Every structure is written in C-alpha cells, then in structure tokens.
Structure 1
Amino acid sequence: MTTDSVAMLRTHGLNVTAQRLAVLRAVSARPHATAQELADDVRLEIGSISRQSVYDTLTLLTERDLIRRIQPAGSSARFEDRVGDNHHHLVCRRCDRLVDVDCATGEVPCLIPVDSGDFIVDEAEVTYWGICPDCQALPAEA
C-alpha cells in the first residue's frame, strides 16, 4: 500500500509525510474506526504523535476525498478508505458494529429524491439500522 499511498498523496497535491502514510495505513487496516482508535494505531506504528495531528490529517484526507468520514446518529465519527462508490452502511443497534452495504440501486447516487429543489444530486447517504447476527444469537435484553 505504501507505493500506492505515496502516489495517491502526490496526485492530490499533498506532501508525503510519515504521519499521512501511517494514517492512511491505519484507516485501511481498520475500516470504520473512530479518530481515537486510529490515533492509537498510528501511535503504535510510528511512536509519538499528537491526537490533534491525527485529527488534522483525517480532516485533510477527508477534504481531499482520500478517505470518507461517516457519523451514524449517536455515534462518534468513523473513517474508511472506501470512497467514490456511494455505498451505504448498516449499524447494529446493540453493539454498534458497522458494515458496508452496496448501493441500493447500483448507480450513483443510488437514490433520487422526489423533489430535488433544483439541486443536482450526486450522492445519497443511507444508514440502515438493525441487529447483527452475533447480537441476534445472544439472549434478548430485558
């Protein structure tokens, strides 16, 4: 991934730094991780780095569309490197597990509003909620 990441950063006009490469690797290794989880992973890989530096890098990479920031209701922001395909997410109501779900109709933007108010729609964000198979196997909460 390092060669691809270097080229990707350069293509997007960004300087290649150890911190940016480490953040990209962390996001790729743990899709849907929170910023704090990613900061912990980056620290394990490269040593001392401030949480703010990781947050700033996540913001920059999101702004450049190298990663995607998602935030289901009631959850911390999470990050993934699956970008550009307008996929959706399924969240378990019990354990907060989050998984990718392919586009509802197969074409971007997947869903078209009945009245777009003259907007040009290029993306639809859908979050499905339910109970994951692991939680289904557990006794129901009282």
Structure 2
Amino acid sequence: MLRERGLRLTPQRQLILEAVHELGHATPESVHNAVRERAAGVNITTVYRTLELLEELGLVNHTHLSHGSPTYHAAGEDQHVHLVCRACGSIAEVDPAVMEPVTDRLLRERDFRVDVGHVSLFGVCGNCKEAE
C-alpha cells in the first residue's frame, strides 16, 4: 500500500506497524517504548506521524479509551466494542452486535451510521463492582 502511494516502507514504519500488532491496544507512547527497544533513534513524533499515515492507509484503527492518547489496533482485527472499567482500567472487548439496537435506531431515526469500531463504553467491571 505504501509503495502504491509513492511511499517507502522504512524500517521505522515497519517497526511501528509490528508494535501495534504485537501490543493489541497500543497508545503512541507504548508503541514508542516497544520500538525504542529495537531502534533507539525513533522519536515519539515519528511514531505519531506514522500511526496517522497507517490509519489513512487503513492498516490500523484508533479509538479513545481514556482522556489521554488514542489507542490503536490492527485494522485486520474483527470490529469490537470496548468496555473500559473506570475503577481498575481493564479493557474488555465485546461483539459489536451488542450495539445493534442503538445503531439500528440511529440509522432509522437519524439516518446516522455508527462506526462501531470506535465505540468505547465506560463503567465498572464485575470484579470492581464486587469489591465495592
């Protein structure tokens, strides 16, 4: 894909893409830390720019799982909805079908198509609820 757009697959781009695949839900900072273990010269600005390029190319997707940096994951993964626990910070994934009543209603009433791959629901997980 890079070559089709007149771009090169640099070692830095390759390392960043591999880090996203290996880490699963990865922030730019966690990608940067993983890449620095293999190539100390890669800076955080390069990571951010490369993640933006990889998303434009459809190789990664991002979502917001907190107020901080976006979280990236490989685009080839099945779409899923993120469940984020505000107490312990755990992240669980559920099938996007759980959102169908909401997405169907929004489509019907507002002609609005939800990008379920970017949906994150915040709450308290069962373990934290029991601890309360």
Indicate how the Cα distance of structure 1 residues 37 and 16 shifts in structure 2: closer, same or farther if over 3 A, else same.
same
Q: Is the 8 A contact 2:82 2:92 kept in 1?
A: yes
Q: Is the 8 A contact 1:31 1:80 kept in 2?
A: yes
Secondary structure of 1:89's counterpart equals strand
2:103 is the alignment partner of 1:102 = no
Indicate the residue corresponding to 2:110 in structure 1: 116
Between stretches 72-81 and 97-106, larger displacement belongs to 97-106
Shift of 1:23: 0.5
Aligned residue pair count: 128
Distance (whole Å) between structure 2 residues aligned to residue 87 and residue 12 of structure 1: 29
TM-score by length of 2: 0.76
Shift of 1:54: 0.7
Indicate how the Cα distance of structure 1 residues 99 and 47 shifts in structure 2: closer, same or farther if over 3 A, else same.
same
Unaligned stretches of 5+ in structure 1? 1-7
Task: Give per-residue Cα distances to partners, 1:40-77, cap 9 Å, x unaligned.
Answer: 11111122111101110011111111001111353431
- Over the residues paired in the alignment, what is the CA RMSD in angstroms? 2.9
The structure whose residues are more often helix, as a share, is: 2
1:93 maps to a residue whose letter is R
Distance (whole Å) between structure 1 residues aligned to residue 127 and residue 22 of structure 2: 22
2:28 is the alignment partner of 1:15 = no
Indicate how the Cα distance of structure 1 residues 16 and 90 shifts in structure 2: closer, same or farther if over 3 A, else same.
same
Structure possessing the higher relative contact order (Cα contacts under 8 Å, 6 or more residues apart): 2
Identity within the alignment, %: 33
Indicate the residue corresponding to 1:4 in structure 2: none
TM-score by length of 1: 0.72
